[in-house]
Amino acid sequence: MAGTHVIGQPRGGRPLLPFKEKTMPASEIEIHAIVLRLLREGYTALTAAQRRVVDTLMAVC
């Protein structure tokens, strides 16, 4: 298939499904933007101590 790439086989043995390189639909991009905005707003509402905990957890993940 033109424009289609297959990701290499994972350790489990079963190959992953092929995917096409293309951009997300506008509606999906809007949803991502809304989720990111809500995450940012939630983060800024945290106290400094809570932010340190979140930052530490994010650094480990």
Q: By the 8 A CB rule, do 43 and 51 touch?
A: yes
pLDDT digits (tens, 9 = 90+) for 2-36: 555 445 555 566 665 565 666 778 888 899 899 89
In angstroms, the first-to-last Cα distance of the chain is: 36
CA distance 39 to 26: 20
- Whether the pLDDT of residue 49 is over 90: the answer is yes
Pair 58, 45: CB distance under 8 Å: no
